[in-house]
Structure 1
Amino acid sequence: MGDRMRAIGLMSGTSMDGIDVAMLTTDGQSFVERGPFLSVPYDPAFRDRLKQGLEDAKAMTKRAERPGCLGELEQELTLRHARAVKAFLEAHGLAAGEIAVIGFHGQTVLHRPDQALTVQLGDGPLLARETGIDVVYDMRANDMMHGGQGAPLVPAYHAALAASLEQAAWPVCFVNIGGISNLTYIDDEGRILAFDSGPGNALIDQWMEVNAGVPFDQGGRIASEGSVLMPLAERYLDHPFFTTDQRRSLDRNDFRPPEPDEAGLHDGARTLAYVTAAAILRSAGHLPHPPQTYIISGGGRLNRTIMGDLAEIAARSGATVLTAEEAGFDGDATEAEAWAYLAVRSLERLPLTFPGTTEVKAPVTGGALARSDARLPSAAK
């Protein structure tokens, strides 16, 4: 068993709504003690810059390239993460020397698994210098170098959480509804399978921004006033992503919102909420056995319309849908916690990905380590 370390995880997801900061004490294996959590939202102007970054990244063919605004954006993004860490430490009376490592996801601006190309903006050495804490970053690249899809990486953490479940019908399926949805299947023998399951909040968020001038449908309120347009919904659900036997990871741009003339505001939001829920269950059809418990994290669990559709569709196979909180976890913090957990695994050279999660040829570790000049001897706990 490895040493128990206090680690901070940083996540800026495909929804591009802000930085999540979470702390764990863990050995990177079975011991997980969850700590506090902080979310730092992005201002609208910076979200617009991130969107421009997505556009500029389309020209990339090599990971080290930073065309257009990406170089300046990467530095600003990293400094914002450093400020978020400092705010977190101050809020909880912690010193940098009490943290062994930061797991830094960065902002994905390009993910092309078929070309073994994934790009997360984030300068690990700069973050280490700014925070005074060692940083593990760029955790997807090694998986791709060994034939994997580079995503998802959270399943290793889901497996640790599943071990703590006291009452659940197996198999259990953890689902994160972020910009893209992904699932992790764990059976009572410890087998782990995972893959992206379809569009999450990204479609609804884009629809709301274009048609209502707001960044998302809070609580699913707009969707609740509309009706599902089944021909439009089936157009999404007939996408080859769902029908092929090969599971692959998704880029934010793999699914696009409807054109404005295809639906009214409310019906469009309602249809996309249904698509988000139905996509998860359709993708679950590729699993060895139907999950009996679904545990939902990410922003999508706060959309009551999505959750209602999920519960209704899952019930057809006798399954139960729980929010992360109902299962005893924090659905906002799960992905940031995972990055803390993965950073410790990286330090211990333990696998981050597995054939059943990313289709990598064999379990592999990953991540680059940026040392801090200000590191204190008492960091590891």
Structure 2
Amino acid sequence: MLKTGPIWALGAMSGTSLDGVDAAMLFTDGEVILGFGESRYRAFSDAERQLIAAAFGRWPGEDGVAQAAELVETAHAQLLDQIKGAEVVGFHGQTLAHDPALRGTHQAGDGGVLAEVLGLPVVWDFRTSDVEMGGQGAPLAPFYHFACAKWIKADAPVVFLNLGGVGNVTWADPAKNKPEEAGALLAFDTGPANAPINDLVMARLGRPYDRDGELALKGSVDEPLVTAFLARGYFHKIPPKSLDRNDFENILELVADHNDADACATLCAIAAASVAKGMEHCPVPPTRVLVTGGGRHNKAMMAMLNVLLDCPVQPVEDVGLDGDMLEAQAFAYLAVRVLRGMATSAPQTTGVAASVGGGKISRPSV
């Protein structure tokens, strides 16, 4: 049993945008943020990215899944072993498939393997318990976003917008005492974000992403296409709700006849419009939107958000947070909560029947 009070936890995240693995240290008691520590990043090579991407949409036992899991474990072990001083590790793994309505959720990578390699307890498989209780299993960062709202001393509701492979928002009311308290949070996936842009640029130009939105800034938006896309049923569902990276797998077909710049601009516009549509669900309009994830570097997407939303849109760096490491920090935070038997999701974040603490704990044999 770990000591009470704050401890150093090491969190790791590999998102569906497939850029690489983020790792970050957090000093926390599972409720409040008390300090930030070292962080590191390990990029995936093109070959590694292709191996993992080939397993997208697949479940344990299917072709390519074991190879993807081994790669995920190796990449995480290489990175996490460089950071010392943690008492617990939070390992998210790599999401390959997510379908809570039918088959559950699948993150590749075995925390037990990492526990043996690192010689530390590893908390992992954060989403399954939530799905088994009827929840969406996503998003899981909102409890940490609530702690961040407290840490920045927000005095009114604020939204954290994560623009990863998929976009998701957390509306947080810092006047509440705990994240599981009614009215403290609302969270859900908004729609596609970076994933289709990354896929298009890789397929057409052999680049992993549109750096700073340079292509999109040169393009023209196909407004009728954006309007038609947002007519899809998902955007009319009441949250909580979640998406898989491949839920809009035909999206690139929609821009197949557009040049590179116009295609990127239109995909950016879809992402931004999806966020704006989602903001209609906020219980109270937020005072500001704080953006994390790779999409905050996309100048075209950020400009579109500033036009569409009725409040300031800022990168989280403006309030002293690290947008590259926020999700890794979130899984450090959640790991401590799991160790201490605390909730990690609630009805207003995933639609789960009641507040639930997810995660398995694997301890090294020696």
Which bracket does the TM-score occupy, shorter chain normalised?
over 0.9
Contact 2:146 2:174 in 1 (8 A): no
Instruction: Report the alpha carbon displacement of residue 309 of structure 1 after superposing the two structures with TM.
Output: 0.7
Query: What 5-or-longer segments of structure 2 have no aligned partner?
Result: 177-183
Q: C-alpha root-mean-square deviation of aligned residues, in Å?
A: 1.5
Matched, 1:181 2:167: yes
After TM superposition, list the pairs within 5 Å mapping 1:19-168 onto structure 2: 19-55=21-57, 57=58, 60=59, 65-87=60-82, 89=83, 94=84, 98-166=85-153, 168=154
Q: 1:313 maps to which residue?
A: 308
Instruction: Report the alpha carbon displacement of residue 86 of structure 1 after superposing the two structures with TM.
Output: 1.6
**Which digits, 9 at most, give the CA deviation of each residue in 1:212-247, with x for residues without a partner?**
221110000000000111011112222211123354
Q: 2:11 maps to which residue?
A: 9
Identity score, percent: 38
Q: 1:284 maps to which residue?
A: 279
Q: 1:217 maps to which residue?
A: 210
Q: 1:255 maps to which residue?
A: 248
Instruction: Report the alpha carbon displacement of residue 39 of structure 1 after superposing the two structures with TM.
Output: 1.0
Contact 1:184 1:195 in 2 (8 A): yes
| In 2: Cα distance, 1:165 partner to 1:5 partner | 20
Moved more, 245-254 or 298-307: 245-254
Q: Which amino acid aligns with 1:226?
A: G
Contact 2:156 2:175 in 1 (8 A): no
From the superposition, tell whether residues 122 and 27 of structure 1 become closer, same or farther in structure 2 (CA, over 3 Å).
Answer: same
Matched, 1:366 2:358: yes
Contact 1:22 1:333 in 2 (8 A): yes
Q: 2:334 maps to which residue?
A: 342
Q: Which amino acid aligns with 1:258?
A: L
| In 1: Cα distance, 2:162 partner to 2:69 partner | 26
Name the TM-score, length of structure 2 as normaliser.
0.93
Name the TM-score, length of structure 1 as normaliser.
0.90
Matched, 1:231 2:233: no
Moved more, 10-19 or 241-250: 241-250
Contact 1:2 1:28 in 2 (8 A): no
**Which digits, 9 at most, give the CA deviation of each residue in 1:302-359, with x for residues without a partner?**
0011011111111xx3x11110101110000000000000000000010000010001
| In 2: Cα distance, 1:326 partner to 1:203 partner | 27
Instruction: Report the alpha carbon displacement of residue 116 of structure 1 after superposing the two structures with TM.
Output: 4.9
Q: 2:290 maps to which residue?
A: 295
Q: 2:179 maps to which residue?
A: none
Query: What 5-or-longer segments of structure 1 have no aligned partner?
Result: 375-381
| In 2: Cα distance, 1:47 partner to 1:123 partner | 19
Q: Which amino acid aligns with 1:159?
A: F
From the superposition, tell whether residues 197 and 261 of structure 1 become closer, same or farther in structure 2 (CA, over 3 Å).
Answer: closer
* DSSP 3-state at the match of 1:196: strand
| In 2: Cα distance, 1:351 partner to 1:253 partner | 29
Instruction: Report the alpha carbon displacement of residue 150 of structure 1 after superposing the two structures with TM.
Output: 0.4
Q: 2:325 maps to which residue?
A: 333
Number of positions where the alignment pairs a residue of Structure 1 with one of Structure 2: 355
**Which digits, 9 at most, give the CA deviation of each residue in 1:129-159, with x for residues without a partner?**
1111110000101111111110011001000
* DSSP 3-state at the match of 2:317: coil
Instruction: Report the alpha carbon displacement of residue 288 of structure 1 after superposing the two structures with TM.
Output: 1.5
Structure 1 segments (4+ residues) deviating >6 Å: none
* DSSP 3-state at the match of 2:160: strand
| In 1: Cα distance, 2:239 partner to 2:170 partner | 16
| In 2: Cα distance, 1:246 partner to 1:328 partner | 29
| In 2: Cα distance, 1:42 partner to 1:228 partner | 31
Moved more, 338-347 or 262-271: 262-271
Q: Which amino acid aligns with 1:144?
A: V
